[in-house]
Amino acid sequence: MNEVIVVGAAILSAVLGGLFLAFSAVVLPALGRTHPGTAHGVMQAINAVAPRSLLMVPLFGSPAACAFVAVEVMRGGAGGGPQLIGAVLGLAAFAVTVLANVPLNRRLDLVPVSDPAAPAAWDQYRRVWGRWNHLRTALALGASVALLW
């Protein structure tokens, strides 16, 4: 198997996990200490910028490289169990993003900050989105470790 792809998948997964960790450890707690309307608006701004940012490189590069690693390991290429586990963890982190975090972002974006229901929507979003973010953080960082095992 191409070691460059394995190392690339590990690096992209680590970068992604680091970004997710920054959100879990700093951004969400800081927004939780901010006025709900302000926090809601800031998160909507983040949701608008993120899809057009360099975040897309590790967000899509990691699962692409992980899929390549998984296929190569299953075809009998070099590598083995740890690389396959890492690839699966990396793909799972992407799945959590697509199936949980992104739909929650879209739902939050539909609620104007001026809506009387906005504070409750923000509070629920922050708690639920945060739990999913913790999971994808662990998955992405676990993928990086396993891929390099």
Distance of alpha carbon 135 from alpha carbon 137, whole angstroms: 5
Per DSSP, helices labelled H in 23-111 are 28-32, 36-49, 56-74, 81-96, 102-109
Asked if pLDDT for residue 106 goes beyond 90, the answer is yes
Distance of alpha carbon 144 from alpha carbon 20, whole angstroms: 13
Average pLDDT over residues 25-46: 96
Distance of alpha carbon 98 from alpha carbon 2, whole angstroms: 28
Average pLDDT over residues 76-80: 77
pLDDT range class, residue 78, cuts 50, 70, 90: low
135: three-class secondary structure by DSSP: helix
Average pLDDT over residues 17-21: 98
Distance of alpha carbon 147 from alpha carbon 149, whole angstroms: 6
Q: Percent of the chain having pLDDT more than 70?
A: 99
> Over the chain, what is the mean pLDDT?
95
Residue 148, CA atoms < 13 Å, CB-side half-sphere? 13
Distance of alpha carbon 81 from alpha carbon 49, whole angstroms: 37
